[in-house]
Structure 1
């Protein structure tokens, strides 16, 4: 490990950093020795002038100074446009790999292997502007001629390059990767092609690549939100391979959370889309797919009462309640958001009151998840208890039995604000009226439930 600079040494009248040392414990340490650390000095010409560490991918700027690629690209990405040493202008495209220095560094590492120095691996050549344009042109050309197999293969290559390094991802994104992939997806879904399995596989590869190049601009969203594209997305969500289902869910989440009303309305109208999203909650295939489906469902349920009623008919409320019983904090927060939004409709409230675990789960999740989860849990419980009918009375009694009164008091003491504070206060007043006729129990016990957690 390269140690940070601890002091400076005066050389030729200037203060320059002391040569960093690679330290390792002596061989005798593992054999009962005293564990004395050996120090390996890194030659000055092998160190990056920016990080002062051993260069792993040396590149030379037009100014003649050699830097580690990651350090110099980070310097340029932070808004600097000059060589850190000379102050002369430098562009990312002007950097040239210094193979001679890299080979000398590797030889030095091999020579010091016995002293614990690991060999620097040969770096991959980063994607250039021309390379990026060629890859994306191949994607578009394959999509235009209806060659699903070739389109999927090139999309997979673009994804691999983008995930290889942030520099590659930025280069491909700047060349229009998201637009090329979105166009290819729409093109393949809009034409009747032979070999459905090949098309499905290609669409999955395109979606997987698309997730690397978020966010999507308006043109990309328009391509993905076309009727044919959404029909394919719904099909992939329900019947695709595991990787394709995850990618489709993530792309839908990006569309739904973009603030694009046109895209959100198109998703809600797409045949089979709501069913597919509820299916991912009812029968989870992966954590990331479930979370993405919950976020999309939240935006859809919040968009209109008609869509919320549709989700309630499909059983989203019991599905979310069951999911909340044993889920991590991230999933719980998103599931509570969907549940709260679903309770804005009569169908959602009726479905929630019919489930034995709804109130106990809301009380349980009121603390120890997140502030946002607390807001959603209090809001959902308030929606269930605020009416005057028999269902609301039953919910208030259940809330008292599982310890909601004590938790709400604690919440107000700990501190909450805004709508949550108002609703917590209202809930306390509602529950206080029923306290004399209900026996409270410890929240963690959940005695008297129709079924255990």
Structure 2
């Protein structure tokens, strides 16, 4: 006995088979042979495959089943000894023949699916690209890179297969080999683009990108006139700088990376480019605080404040991390204090954005209160920071965040007692004072 299905054509951009819930003369009925239906989706199979138990499923359905953590055959409930899927060409040809027989006016013929990319194919691609790179055969490298680009465009499964089988490393090898040749800029830009979706690149690949010639090339592309190239370069620089190698940060200073990153933020190329630039800046300053001076001279503090005000939560989080890094130095703290919006924004962002943003906000306030004059503490208290920080201890954040909150509460609590004892100050509610024992309870 077949399954009765109907075709809903009205208002559809392409023909789709859907179950009929109410019969109508305007919706012709189609009986789909049960052997053409996927046991999981109960829909016509477009790419039938056989798994280890001998049951045929539509590839997409069985892959979703396995990726969801299931390790059994949906029909037999037998434990799968392997997740390999073999195309069932016989069933596929039968389905295609049936589609033609039904008539193209009612149902589209299912095209022959592309065979998924396999690990051994990727390994062969890596071998050929690595060999061509060692020979210095840039033309062959270009051909292979173009093939990788096409395979990547086939879909998520192909991209995943490429990522998991060493393509990232050989692309880094190739980039390093030809990074000094300006005539090959177009090929290097293609490699850069491919590497942005090949994260994590891995320590070996990053070592190749962190070489003097590679870094110089990436820094040069960061100043390109093409915004997409600048965005890709910022993404890779962020990954390289995260390695915290001292020589890499020296390369960054020597290659004028600071100004290029700030310009990329100012140009508002994209949210992704802004986030990558902010993360790269925070890596540079945290690793070597002296780098902060270079950023301060080109107006990074005011620009970062703008990002906190106007950016989405993710951008705001990165911008707060940059402020935290800048406050590692005395000059940085002085520049931050000059901006009247900083303290109100820091207090406002506790604990609204994320734990990471809250930790950065607490860290900046703490650095200002510990190392600057008492006005910073008083301002934080007046803006309601005490209540916000107390809330942080109640929410259940991580230990590092709680430690910063506890230390900041002690400083503010002391200041609040002084303020409440001041006869000339009627702006502070003495009931807000919390004992040291109460703070330690958290």
Q: TM-score range by the shorter chain?
A: 0.7 to 0.9
| 1:224 counterpart residue number | 209
In 1, the alpha carbon distance for the partners of 2:86 and 2:388 equals 63
Per-residue CA deviation, residues 376-434 of structure 1 (Å, 9 max, x unaligned), is 11221222233353xx52x4455456554554465566666622431441353366345
Change (3 A) 1:146 1:225: same
Cα pair 1:274 1:311 within 8 Å, conserved: yes
Q: Which of 261-270 and 132-141 deviates more? A: 261-270
Deviations 1:344-384 (CA, angstroms, capped at 9, x unpaired): 11121011012232222212322421222122112212222
Shift of 1:121: 5.0
- 1:47 matched to which residue of 2? 37
Aligned counterpart, 1:346: 330
Partner of 1:374: 358
**1:139-158 to 2 correspondences below 5 Å:** 139-140=129-130, 143-144=133-134, 151-152=141-142, 154-158=144-148
Deviation at 1:247, TM superposition (A): 1.7
Residues 154 and 360 of structure 1: CA distance in aligned 2, closer, same or farther (over 3 Å): farther
Change (3 A) 1:343 1:27: closer
The aligned residue for residue 413 of structure 2 is 429
Tell me which residue corresponds to 2:189. Answer: 204
Partner Cα separation in structure 2 for residue 268 and residue 40 of structure 1: 66
In the TM superposition, what is the alpha-carbon distance from 1:162 to its structure 2 partner?
Answer: 2.8
Cα distance, 1:439 vs structure 2 = 6.6
1:188: how far off? 1.1
Q: Are 2:255 and 1:271 aligned?
A: yes
Structure 1 position 66 matched with structure 2 position 56: yes
Q: Which runs of 5+ in 1 are unaligned?
A: 1-17, 29-34, 441-453
The alpha-carbon deviation at position 278 of structure 1 amounts to 3.0
1:235 aligns with 2:220: yes
Which of 178-187 and 356-365 deviates more? 356-365
Indicate the residue corresponding to 1:4 in structure 2.
none
How does the TM-score come out when normalised to structure 1?
0.73
State the distance in 1 between where 2:221 and 2:96 align.
Answer: 47
**Cα deviation code 1:265-324 (max 9, x no counterpart):** 566565222333333333331111111222222223222333344444454323211211
Between 1:380-389 and 1:140-149, the stretch displaced more is 140-149
Which residue of structure 2 aligns with residue 335 of structure 1? 319
Match of 1:252 in 2: 237
Q: How many residues align?
A: 405
Q: Is there any run of 5+ residues in structure 2 with no aligned partner, and where?
A: 12-19, 24-28, 429-442
Shift of residue 50 of structure 1? Answer: 5.2
For residues 89-238 of structure 1, the aligned pairs below 5 Å read 90=82, 92=84, 95-106=85-96, 108=98, 111=102, 120=110, 122-129=112-119, 131-140=121-130, 143-144=133-134, 151-152=141-142, 154-190=144-180, 192-193=181-182, 195=183, 199-238=184-223
**Kept in 1: contact 2:377–2:412 (CA 8 A):** no
For normalisation by structure 2, the TM-score amounts to 0.75
Contact 2:290 2:329 in 1 (8 A): no
Alpha-carbon contact 1:268-1:307 (below 8 Å) kept: no
How far the C-alpha of 1:113 sits from its partner, in A, is 8.1
Alignment of 1:289-438 (within 5 A): 289-387=273-371, 389=373, 393=375, 395-396=376-377, 398-399=379-380, 402-405=383-386, 407-408=388-389, 411=392, 418-426=402-410, 428-429=412-413, 432=416, 433=418
Native 8 Å contact 2:392 2:402 kept in 1: no
- Report the Cα distance in structure 1 between the residues aligned to 2:353 and 2:3, rounded to whole angstroms: 44
* Pair 1:308–1:40, CA change in 2 (3 A): farther
Deviations 1:136-180 (A, max 9, x none): 355445545656576455424313413523432343234421111
Does the residue aligned with 1:386 lie in a helix, a strand or coil? helix
Report runs of 4+ in structure 1 exceeding 6 Å deviation: 18-21, 23-28, 81-84, 112-115
CA RMSD between the two structures: 4.0
* Partner secondary structure for residue 196 of structure 2: helix
User: What's 1:285 paired with?
Assistant: 269
Tell me: CA distance 1:183–1:101, structure 2 relative to 1, closer, same or farther (3 Å). same
**Distance in structure 2 (CA, Å) of the matches to 1:172 and 1:47:** 31
With over 3 angstroms needed to count, the CA separation of the structure-2 counterparts of 1:70 and 1:114, relative to structure 1, is: same
